[in-house]
Amino acid sequence: MVQPYNDRDGFIWMDGALRPWREAEVHILTHALHYGSSVFEGQRAYNGKIFKLTEHSERLHKSAEILGFKLPWSVAEIDAACEEVLEANGLTDAYVRPVAWRGSEQMGVSAQATKPHLAIAAWEWGKYFDEKKANEGIRLDIAPYRRPAPHTAPVHAKAAGLYMICTISKHEAEAKGYDDAMMFDWEGRVAEATGANIFFIKDGVIHTPIADVFLNGITRRTVIELAKKRGIEVIERRIWPEELAQFEQCFLTGSAAEVTFVKEIGPWQFAPGDISRQLRADYDDLVNGRG
C-alpha cells in the first residue's frame, strides 16, 4: 500500500513558509474544492536540479491568470520555494508539485473576494508507468471523452478541472487492462494521452498533433528540439485516427511520463525503434545534465 499523501513525514511550503507535512491542510469550504478554481504544475528534480523549473513556474502564473487570479509570489519566488522544498525534505531526485487555488472568503460561482494560495510539495516518485512495461511500450485505450474545444474550456491552463475527464478516461482504460488512454480532440483528431503529449514516427519522420487545443507540454517542446538537433524532421500537424495504422513508432512525453514508448492504441500497433530510443536517451542525458 502506498502511504497516503496526507500522512507523511517532511515539509510542505504553504503560503510563504514551510509547514510540517501533515499540517498542510485547507478548510472544507475552499472555493477550489467546490468550483475547480485550482491550477498546478508537475516537474522533476534530477541530481538535485529541477528540470526547466522557471518554465514551470511561469506556466503556473499563466494558468492562474487564465482562471482570473494572480499569484502574489513572483516566478523567481516560486522557483526559490521549489528549491527550498527539495532541500527541506532532503530530496535530490523527486517530483515537485506546486498547486495554487482560490480560498474560502467567498462561496458560489463568483469568487472575486477569494485569496489566492500556493503550496509546494515534493516526494520521491519512480517512473510514471511501470518501467518493465514501458520498455517495450505501454498500451493505450481510446478515451471515451475528447479534449474540449478551445471555446468551451481554458484549454491552455494546467487547471485541475480539465483533469476530470482524464481521470474518468484513465479509470475506464485501467479497468480494461490498459495503461492509459489516448484522447481525441473535440473534432475527432488525435490529441494526447490523459497526462502526456503524443508523438508518432514513420519513415524516419516524427509527426505530432499541433498543440493548440491542449497543453503544449514543456517536455514536448524539449523533445522536438532534441529531435531537430539530431537532424530528424518533426512535423506538427492535424492527425486523424485513420492515419494511425501507417505509423511505426509512438511515444508519450511529459514531465512525469518523460519519454514513454507506446506499443498499442486500441486496434493500432507500434514498436519502439531507433529514433524513439535515441530521443529517450537524449532526454535522459539532458535532464541529468549530460546533454
Interacting residue ranges for ligand PMP, rule: CB under 6 A: 42, 158, 192, 195-197, 215, 217-220, 253-255
Cell of 188: 475527432
Residue with cell 502574489: 72
Nearest approach in angstroms of CB 197 to ligand PMP is: 5
Nearest approach in angstroms of CB 113 to ligand PMP is: 30
Active site residue 127: no
Cell of 286: 539532458
- Tell me which residue has its CB nearest to ligand PMP: 217
Nearest approach in angstroms of CB 216 to ligand PMP is: 8
Q: Residue 10, Cβ neighbours under 10 Å: how many?
A: 17
Q: With H, G, I as helix, E, B as strand and everything else as coil, classify residue 269.
A: strand
Distance, CA of 106 to CA of 113 (rounded, Å):
6
Nearest approach in angstroms of CB 106 to ligand PMP is: 28
Angle at 100 between CA 97 and CA 101, to 5 degrees: 140
Cα distances from 104 to residues 26, 62, 101, in angstroms, run: 9, 22, 10
CB nearer to ligand PMP: pick between 38 and 219? 219
CB nearer to ligand PMP: pick between 207 and 220? 220
Distance, CA of 228 to CA of 281 (rounded, Å):
15
Cell of 142: 481510446
Name the nearest CA neighbour of 48 among 94, 98, 97: 94
Nearest approach in angstroms of CB 260 to ligand PMP is: 11
Beta bridge partners of 123: 95
Amino acid at 89: N
* DSSP E strand stretches across 103-196: 116-123, 138-142, 180-184, 190-193
**Active-site pick, 52, 158, 170, 263:** 158
Nearest approach in angstroms of CB 22 to ligand PMP is: 27
243: phi then psi, degrees, rounded to nearest 5: -80, -15
CB hemisphere CA count around 189 (13 angstroms) = 14
Give the residue numbers marked as catalytic. 158
